[in-house]
Amino acid sequence: MWLRYSGLLFAFVAAGAAALADGDNRGVSAAQSCRNLATELTAQTTAPGGFVADMKTSCSFNAPAKQSTCTVQYSDRRGTSMTTTTITTYNSVADVVDEIAVNPPLSYALTAKVSQTSGRGTPGSGVTNTFGDNRRILKTVNSSVGGESTTTYSEWDQAGRPTRANDVGKGFNNTRIISYDNGARTRTTVVNGGPLRTVETFDADGNQIETLATSGGMAVATKTTITVTASQRICK
């Protein structure tokens, strides 16, 4: 999915809203009382064939509503431009802060609803997560006008982050193996044992700052570089 610009756009939205993953509190570092959530971001994606896309994101977090709202302005060299808004909902403000108990972070987001406000492309999509009693994610349902797909998680690391997932949708049935390097702050995902490999890098605040995707023996990778220019301090 990282090789399609629509997927890259959603990935960038997620970076501003906090990526949708999972975890529990076992084996993680001492709980934080506050976090710096990215609110202003710029990004550029380059891909094989000369593809270049630019994105600018503005986010805000509404504590009473327990929601993060991000608006992305997207344009690429192929002439596609659009503006989308993503509303990510949490069960509590504490869940937002608890995501950075480890880095690469956890995520306790319940839902993310994406709506297109201008331009061409997918008019809307959404993500819904289901968690178990131990706060580990069990299932993710992705919906869009193109159909619905379901991700089922079956293995986790000591911190509760998922390490094995199965994605099923129209025309695909993929297995993802996910690993984490806390020192380098990277999350690596390998699909079906290869050839697609994605490495995501996070800053010290748990905000995504880079995604590098390679496929097979490709000498040129798809790369998204994200720059955080402003943040909002969120406290329990």
Q: Cis (ω within 30 of 0) for the bond into 162? A: no
**What is the reported pLDDT for 124?**
74
Of the candidates 200, 198, 202, the residue with the CA atom closest to the CA atom of residue 221: 198
Q: What is the pTM of this model?
A: 0.85
Which helix (H) or strand (E) segment is 218 a member of?
none
Domain ranges of the chain: 5-235
Burial (CB count within 10 angstroms: exposed 0-12, middle 13-18, buried 19+), residue 224:
buried
Are the C-beta atoms of 90 and 99 separated by less than 8 Å?
Answer: no
Contacts of 104 (CB under 8 A, 6+ apart): 161, 180, 181, 182, 185, 186, 187, 200, 202, 206
Reduced to 3 states (helix: H, G, I; strand: E, B; else coil), residue 61 is: strand
Cα–Cα distances in Å, from 27 out to 54, 103, 182, 186?
A: 38, 13, 13, 18
pLDDT, one tens digit for every residue, the chain (236 residues):
333 334 444 444 444 444 333 333 333 444 679 999 999 999 999 998 899 999 999 999 999 999 999 999 999 999 999 999 999 999 999 999 999 999 999 989 999 999 987 765 556 789 999 999 889 999 999 998 888 999 999 999 999 999 999 999 999 999 999 999 999 999 999 999 988 999 999 999 999 999 999 987 655 689 999 999 999 999 99
